[in-house]
Amino acid sequence: MADIYDKFSDKLPGRILEDIKAKEKLEKLTTVELTKVLERVSDEFEKSKVVPGEAVGLVTAESFGESGTQMTLDVFHFAGVSELQVTSGLPRLIELFDARKIPKTPEMEVQILSKYAKDEKMIRKVASKLKELTLQDISTEFSLNLMKGNIEVKLDLTKVKDFGFTLDEIEKTLKEKLKKVNVRKLTYGFVFEAPEGVFELTELHKVKEKVKEVVVRGIAGITQVLPVKVGSKTIVKCAGSNVKDVLAMEEVDSKNVTSNNLFEILDSLGIEAARQTLINEGLSIIEGQGLDVDVRHMLLLADLMTNTGTLKGITRGGIAGEKGSVLARASFETPIPHIINASISGEVDELKSVIENVMVNQPVPMGTGLPNLVFGVEKKTKELKTEDKKENKEKIKK
């Protein structure tokens, strides 16, 4: 049976072959039938292939553009807990296509290795290791001593105990994270002093704000966690995202970490991962709205946004601003700067894309505007000319 497939392996794409293989087992096809099926499928596939000249880009734009008008503006979608809101619908789609540096609601899904997720207690422990805990969260008072030029922090000792800290541990992390400040331990908290002399008043405020935000435990940026069981897997849904630090944790199954922050994925896992994230996110938004757009459109858009190795948004600063043609750029947004810059560097617009040809009333290089007829022009015109002259002369004589 396998050699039958081999014959068609270059005629049919893998996706369809897999489909047939599955159906073959299910329907218990005979060899004869299978060959027939494969022949018919490859016939139909050949007929259904895209043709050169097809404006696939515009079809993609239309598919998303038209679907966009049917989406809701409702910004939030709850994932069980009210803090775990996720932007959805049109606002999220716009954000995604813009390739914004930070999404409005960053979010991660982290799978925990099974050996660290044997029971509730273990899971909760891992989850708490993920959730960011700042000094502010476990203290009751930050007081500035203007005379001494230092900051005194009173800790909420019951909370400290609840979270399973000892003061020494906290002191250690504080010392690690605050290099330019001296940390002194008290029985009820800490004193932060300048390494030499005293802090100036303005400086004191800055240091205070900095000290407040020091992460004493967990991963910076992750503000809320919610462990859920999906089948046999344990997944922690997180509000906030910090891919780099999460991947470094030993409890985390690093192969099953997702984030909706494209740039974090790009930085830590590379452009291919960012492209896949883009595709997944895009499809899930469309699906979440109960709409149906083919994968191919999402693939094309994702490929366009990532094909240079960096993430480019569908904005005037991204793809639309990087076109080779001056007129195409000018017709989109901010025409004046584009024309000015083009004129001083003597740019030439070769009228290769659609919009410029529309401007000068010429056929666009797409679809039926592409084919040309080639014939021997010179020969024909010469013959015609002599004939014409003869005719003219005769006419004049008459």
* Binding residues among 352-391 for other proteins as defined by CB under 8 A: 352-356, 358-362, 365-368
Exposure on the CB side of residue 322, measured as CA atoms within 13 A: 11
Q: Could you tell me the smallest distance in angstroms from the CB atom of residue 266 to other proteins?
A: 18
Which candidate, 183, 173, 139, places its Cα nearest to that of 158?
139
Question: Could you tell me the smallest distance in angstroms from the CB atom of residue 384 to other proteins?
Answer: 10
Of the pair 52, 197, the CB lying nearest other proteins is at 52
Return the biggest CA–CA distance within the chain.
125
Residue (149 or 365) nearer to other proteins, CB: 365
Q: Which tokens hold the place of 267? A: 């930085």
Instruction: Give dist(CA 311, CA 99) in Å, integer.
Output: 7
- How many other CB atoms sit within 10 Å of the CB of residue 8? 17
Residue 16 interacts with other proteins (CB under 8 A): yes or no = yes
Binding residue for other proteins, selected from 176, 200, 213, 347, defined by CB under 8 A:
347
From 17-25, 156-164, 174-182, 251-259, span contacting other proteins (CB under 8 A)? 17-25
CA-wise closest residue to 7 among 32, 42, 33? 42
Among all chains, which residue has been given the structure tokens 């990087």?
Answer: 322
Enter the tokens of residue 300: 């094309």
Binding mask 84-113 for other proteins (x = CB under 8 A): x-----x--xx--x----------------
Residue type, 107: E
Output 2 or 360, the one with its CB closest to other proteins. 360
CA–CA separation, 361 and 331 (whole Å): 15
Q: CB count, 10 Å around CB of 206?
A: 11
**Cβ nearer to other proteins, comparing 23 with 101:** 23
Residue 238 sits in the site that holds other proteins (CB under 8 A):
no
Query: Smallest distance from the beta carbon of 14 to other proteins, in angstroms?
Result: 8
Binding to other proteins in span 300-339, by CB under 8 A: 300-301, 303-304, 307, 314-315, 318-328, 330-332, 335-336, 339
Q: How far is the CB of 61 from other proteins (least distance, A)?
A: 4
In whole angstroms, how close is the CB of 269 to other proteins at the nearest point?
A: 21
CA distance 50 to 371: 16
